[in-house]
Structure 1
Amino acid sequence: MREEVGYVYESPSVTEFTFVVSNDGAVGVGDYVLTEDPNDPTSYIMGRVEDVRRDVHEGIKGEVMRALMLGSNTVPDLDWTVIARVEVLGVLTENFDIRDARRPAKPMAKVYKMSDEELEKLLSPADPERAVYLGRVKDSTARVFLDPNALVSLHCAVLGMTGSGKSYTVGVLIEEMSRLGIPVIVIDPHGEYPSLRKPAESIPDGWDVEPEGIDDVVTFGPNGPDDGYDYEIIIDTTNLNVEDFKLLIPQMRKYKKADEYVHEAIQALKDEWKKTGVKYDLADIIEKLEEKKKFVRKATEESAIDAALTSLRKLHRICGNLFGKEDSPDLRRFVRAGRVVVLSLKGLPDEAQQAVVTYFLKRIFEFRQSDEIPPVFTILEEAHNFAPTGEEMTRDKTAISAVRDFAREGRKFLAGLCVVSQRPGRVDSTVLSQCNTMIILKTANPDDLDNIRKSGEGITREALERIKSLPVGSAYVTGSAVKIPLFVDVRPRRTAHGGATPDVFEVIRKHEATNVDVDDDFDIGV
């Protein structure tokens, strides 16, 4: 039996209505309600309560004002009416499908509060084992599942300010994708995700999850095993053409002839490789250009080669160890069903990080085009650093073209992208607008909220206001991966979280424990 909570008071459009609450406290902001559909007695208009207010009856307002103006110490007893405003989400059919509302709610029609069981029935997929279990509807027991097909084929974004639970939520997505057998590639600037191998130390009561690490995690990072990773990150120089170098080194575009000489050097080295079977690297390209410079006579030609050499030497100085004679990872070898491949960029300078992101996004896309790897879910952490807005863009942010291309074209080939950022206002709008599902945690910065509003579909002003004050671990989820927009409490992770905000006192304690003792009587010469 549904709980009756009021009756429709005003219904100005098919997108919203207000109702008089019959019992003060019966509903609150965020509750889901139903009222009869004028078109179909077996269906109900469904909506979410966006605002609840108490209205004083008009006649009483006048009495109060007169009493105050006359200086009376006695204010008449107030007669309140509680009014709730509802955003219409659609029409709930008897089969628990959602379709568009075509007529406004009927005035004086009864309003009912949806039960947790009804919400669960609406939100549950046909087979929960083939869906992404994200958490529960906020302040409810109804579980929330995401459609993995929508996440991969239509992209998604996880957005939220520092400390909101953003990386923790990404960890939940990774756990679920891996469980479903979907390969995951994580581009990890801060080295947070190797912890996926370890089980969580504990899980709060009341959740149907158990601690469990992911068995099939392969990690790549600078210096490989020397830094605790399984393998070193290496870019196969022989896969790069002159256009790739122009992406990596925008300065080369200024000199018309510079790219021609780089192309000649690469082609000469490719010809030698075919004859000898010996591959080449970035140092070999530089050496070939230095040889070429010895035989040019015109000053313009020498200037062009010098420009190319300056750019390539800088790239080699900053990222030299990255450019080798084989790919690591070789995506065709390592991308497998359910496997998580972590590309840790921790410790790399920004230019090197840009190079890795540019190169491997291009490789993932190319291998999906040719069907050499299975459909894959690629997570780009710190996306604002690799795909910044026009105002934030500098010539050093060289990955943006690759990120844009991946966002626009990847979906056609089931190369899914998950954009992660604590500064959504600084993420390129072209990239963010390609993310059809958004998981938005606490965000307070006006610029960030404005870009979210512009990029996401149907994000109301009221939803943005609630997003400002969300607790850690709660999110607003909207887009094609869910049937209706939802506020969600994200479930606990099965795996250990490697991206928790550090506790300053714990860091100081560890620092002091490992610090070399200094003589208290040390003379500093004052």
Structure 2
Amino acid sequence: MTDWIKSNERRIGTVVGDASTDTYTFILKSFSAKLGDIVATPTDVPGHAGTYGAIIWGRVVGINRVNPFFPAEAAQELSEQDINLLDTVLSTTRDYLQAEVLILGATKNMDVTNLRLSPVTYPVKPSAGVFSPPAEAIRVLLTGGDNNQVKLRLGTLIGRKDVDVSLQANKIVSRHLAILAMTGGGKTVAARRVLRELTAINYPIVILDPHGDYLAFFEKRRELGGVDVKLFYPAIRVYGSDSGVIEELIAKMGHRLTDPQKDFFQTVVAQTNLEPGMTAERYIAELITTCGRLRDGGGNGGDRLNALTVNAVRRSLDFVRRALNSMQTNNERLMAQLKPKGYAFTELPDPQTSPDEIVRPGRISIIYLAGFDHLTQSAIASIVIEHLFAHRAKLTDRIAPFLTVIEEAHNFVPGRREGTEDTPSLATVRKVITEGRKFGTGLMLISQRPARLDETILSQCNSFLVLRLVNPKDKNFVRSVMENLSESDANILQTFGPGQGIVSGQAVRFPLLVDIDFDEDLVSEAIGDEDFVKKAKDWSPDPVREEIASIVDEVIPPEPPASPATKRAGKRAPLPDVTFNAGTRGGKPNGAGKRPRA
């Protein structure tokens, strides 16, 4: 038996009460262990050739403090009568700590250089000693003694700062990872830690960034060892005579064309001139012009079906054109704000014709989606992921295996209760997360509202990093999709501090409470939390704008209120035109997410 098992210095308690093959309870020596600590108990178990010595490994999942000589009735009396405890004969020194252990497995071999876990088939003996293993023994236990696998350092055990916690890199990039936490729980800290480790091995990374949370990777690229970081803004161009990209945009952002509409659309394409490399919005504008020309000068005006078909195609094209124009306007506005801070943006290459410009070993490609409405973000994500996955699925070796990071995943893969008809990325991600591991297309989903995620997609993630969660719906949902999350683990989710959490799944051998390393050198210095209180305090109206407004009021006086006679007549003012991104209604831009009717 190993020396640390014999040593009384490592003994922290004694098994008591009923013990099973899943859990046991022990009396804990004061200040000898904390919640989440790994403990070991030697015992004899039956085998084919008689009994043999084994070590039962477990994790402390609960600690209770008990004093049988200080009953609740006594505490009530002291409180009611304002009696000092020192003036009584009650004992305060006979309390003890009772710890509950969740069994992780057993090892036959006492040699700590090669600890391989097996299922526990025989309970530990009451009165058996419980020991706190040395750091080296726990490290070997966590890795299984296999030092050939590539590891990604995550942090340390919460209870043991001398024990590193690492993730198996291959399980992360092929079997998918979900990072879940409430706002301020440390999602970005955890994602930044994992991505930094992946950049150290030059693994290709594609990030869909809806809020600019990952722009710091560009700002701090020197700290990443010279990693090639690209900031891409969405742009869609059309090459050759293929109209497939436009049909794809219509299907994802507008209304899927019927067979007669597709036939008419192909006629429109055939009669529209295309300059190779033309932007999609400009090409669509040309297609709309051709639609009008064919409607006015071609076809039988009395053919109602033909008229409906022409108008349906034209409306779908116009809807997509407005969305792309809004996207272009947002691109220019946002980049103008960030350019003075040192950020350099590049137009997103075509994921179908130039995927190797997006996916490349040693490169982080950040697709900046801030400022776009939900439907546009989802459509862009769907197109990019779909085409990159297609290149991997065809096994053409055009691009290397890669990992896609989806921030605010509940907006891209919402659950059934959230409404999915206006989220084209849902079907795409569902396909990739189901088949991606066969083709080296991994996903990292990050969300602060797990209960709003698609349950099927989240259950396909083989590894989870769950940080602070308080919302009961989120905690219950996480328990429903994580097979190895115990009730006691779920109960401590709300007690975590920033950057603390539970990691479980195939990336680790068993669930662990982890304190994630904080990469302070990767925190942005140019972008941070805005001080809106100070902005409101220092705000003053623009005198030029005020003067212009007063002139407008003089030239165009406001309309007088409607007369009672007008109101009785039921006359109403004409409604304004609905545009893709003008104003809001019900929390969405007017027209956003609304598909044109055929």
TM-score bin, normalised by smaller chain: 0.7 to 0.9
- Give the one of 222, 229, 236 matched to 1:217: 229
Counterpart of 1:424, as a letter, is: P
CA deviations over 1:61-85 (Å, ceiling 9, x no partner) = 69979x99xx999554364343211
1:203 counterpart residue number: none
Q: Distance in 1 between matches of 2:528 and 2:349?
A: 37
Percent of aligned pairs with the same amino acid: 27
Contact 2:503 2:511 in 1 (8 A): yes
Report whether the alignment pairs 1:258 with 2:261.
yes
Superposed counterparts of 1:461-500, under 5 Å: 461-493=487-519, 495-498=521-524
| TM-score, normalization by structure 1 | 0.82
CA deviations over 1:14-33 (Å, ceiling 9, x no partner) = 21111122x22322221111
Report whether the alignment pairs 1:122 with 2:141.
yes
Superposed counterparts of 1:354-369, under 5 Å: 354-369=378-393
SS of corresponding position for 2:522: coil
C-alpha deviation, 1:106, in angstroms: 2.4
C-alpha deviation, 1:257, in angstroms: 3.9
C-alpha deviation, 1:185, in angstroms: 0.3
| TM-score, normalization by structure 2 | 0.73
Q: Distance in 1 between matches of 2:424 and 2:446?
A: 18
Contact 1:116 1:142 in 2 (8 A): yes
Q: Distance in 2 between matches of 1:514 and 1:77?
A: 63
2:64 counterpart residue number: 53
- Give the one of 224, 234, 240 matched to 2:244: 240
Report whether the alignment pairs 1:180 with 2:195.
no
- Give the one of 458, 475, 478 matched to 1:452: 478
Q: Distance in 2 between matches of 1:484 and 1:239?
A: 50
Answer with 1 or 2: which has the greater Rg. Answer: 2
Contact 2:19 2:125 in 1 (8 A): no
Q: Distance in 2 between matches of 1:335 and 1:399?
A: 19
Contact 2:11 2:130 in 1 (8 A): yes
2:310 counterpart residue number: 305
Contact 1:163 1:501 in 2 (8 A): no
- Give the one of 414, 424, 442 matched to 1:398: 424
Q: Distance in 2 between matches of 1:443 and 1:399?
A: 26
Superposed counterparts of 1:70-469, under 5 Å: 74=88, 76-77=90-91, 79-92=94-107, 93=109, 94=111, 95-124=114-143, 126-127=146-147, 130-140=150-160, 141-199=162-220, 212=224, 214-221=226-233, 233-234=235-236, 236=238, 238=242, 240=244, 244-245=248-249, 247-249=251-253, 251-252=255-256, 257-262=260-265, 265=268, 268=270, 281-294=283-296, 295-297=298-300, 298-320=303-325, 327=350, 330-370=354-394, 371-469=397-495
Contact 1:439 1:478 in 2 (8 A): yes
2:569 counterpart residue number: none
2:558 counterpart residue number: none
Are residues 315 and 487 of structure 1, via their aligned partners in 2, closer, same or farther at CA, if it must alter by over 3 Å? same
C-alpha deviation, 1:197, in angstroms: 3.1
Counterpart of 2:44, as a letter, is: P
Counterpart of 1:136, as a letter, is: T
C-alpha deviation, 1:500, in angstroms: 11
C-alpha deviation, 1:510, in angstroms: 7.0
C-alpha deviation, 1:341, in angstroms: 0.6
1:204 counterpart residue number: none
Q: Distance in 1 between matches of 2:284 and 2:237?
A: 10
Q: Distance in 1 between matches of 2:488 and 2:217?
A: 36
Counterpart of 1:304, as a letter, is: T
Q: Distance in 2 between matches of 1:62 and 1:491?
A: 43
C-alpha deviation, 1:332, in angstroms: 2.0
Q: Distance in 1 between matches of 2:210 and 2:493?
A: 26
Counterpart of 1:455, as a letter, is: V
C-alpha deviation, 1:116, in angstroms: 2.5
Are residues 34 and 481 of structure 1, via their aligned partners in 2, closer, same or farther at CA, if it must alter by over 3 Å? same
Counterpart of 2:39, as a letter, is: V
- Give the one of 15, 27, 30 matched to 1:8: 15
Are residues 448 and 261 of structure 1, via their aligned partners in 2, closer, same or farther at CA, if it must alter by over 3 Å? farther
Q: How many residues end up aligned between the 2 structures?
A: 494
Are residues 336 and 241 of structure 1, via their aligned partners in 2, closer, same or farther at CA, if it must alter by over 3 Å? closer
Are residues 502 and 469 of structure 1, via their aligned partners in 2, closer, same or farther at CA, if it must alter by over 3 Å? farther
Q: Distance in 2 between matches of 1:421 and 1:467?
A: 15
Counterpart of 2:472, as a letter, is: P
Counterpart of 1:17, as a letter, is: Y
Q: Distance in 2 between matches of 1:470 and 1:277?
A: 55
Q: Distance in 1 between matches of 2:304 and 2:433?
A: 43
Are residues 299 and 444 of structure 1, via their aligned partners in 2, closer, same or farther at CA, if it must alter by over 3 Å? same
Are residues 453 and 287 of structure 1, via their aligned partners in 2, closer, same or farther at CA, if it must alter by over 3 Å? farther
Counterpart of 2:115, as a letter, is: F
Are residues 421 and 326 of structure 1, via their aligned partners in 2, closer, same or farther at CA, if it must alter by over 3 Å? closer
Are residues 177 and 325 of structure 1, via their aligned partners in 2, closer, same or farther at CA, if it must alter by over 3 Å? closer
Q: Distance in 1 between matches of 2:479 and 2:526?
A: 28
Q: Distance in 2 between matches of 1:488 and 1:386?
A: 28
Counterpart of 1:364, as a letter, is: L
C-alpha deviation, 1:277, in angstroms: 6.9
Are residues 498 and 428 of structure 1, via their aligned partners in 2, closer, same or farther at CA, if it must alter by over 3 Å? farther
Are residues 514 and 402 of structure 1, via their aligned partners in 2, closer, same or farther at CA, if it must alter by over 3 Å? same
Q: Distance in 2 between matches of 1:163 and 1:380?
A: 18
Are residues 318 and 199 of structure 1, via their aligned partners in 2, closer, same or farther at CA, if it must alter by over 3 Å? closer
Contact 1:236 1:325 in 2 (8 A): no
SS of corresponding position for 1:348: coil
C-alpha deviation, 1:113, in angstroms: 1.5
SS of corresponding position for 1:391: helix
CA-based RMSD: 3.8
Are residues 305 and 90 of structure 1, via their aligned partners in 2, closer, same or farther at CA, if it must alter by over 3 Å? farther
Q: Distance in 1 between matches of 2:243 and 2:446?
A: 28
Contact 2:149 2:168 in 1 (8 A): no
CA deviations over 1:290-324 (Å, ceiling 9, x no partner) = 45545444312322332232122111101248699
SS of corresponding position for 2:414: coil
Unaligned runs of 5+ in 1: 201-209, 223-232
Contact 1:183 1:340 in 2 (8 A): yes
C-alpha deviation, 1:96, in angstroms: 1.9
Q: Distance in 2 between matches of 1:60 and 1:189?
A: 56
Are residues 462 and 296 of structure 1, via their aligned partners in 2, closer, same or farther at CA, if it must alter by over 3 Å? farther
C-alpha deviation, 1:244, in angstroms: 2.9
Unaligned runs of 5+ in 2: 46-50, 329-346, 551-598
Are residues 265 and 172 of structure 1, via their aligned partners in 2, closer, same or farther at CA, if it must alter by over 3 Å? farther
Contact 2:169 2:507 in 1 (8 A): yes
Counterpart of 1:55, as a letter, is: V
Q: Distance in 2 between matches of 1:217 and 1:394?
A: 33
C-alpha deviation, 1:259, in angstroms: 4.4
Are residues 436 and 325 of structure 1, via their aligned partners in 2, closer, same or farther at CA, if it must alter by over 3 Å? closer
C-alpha deviation, 1:10, in angstroms: 3.2
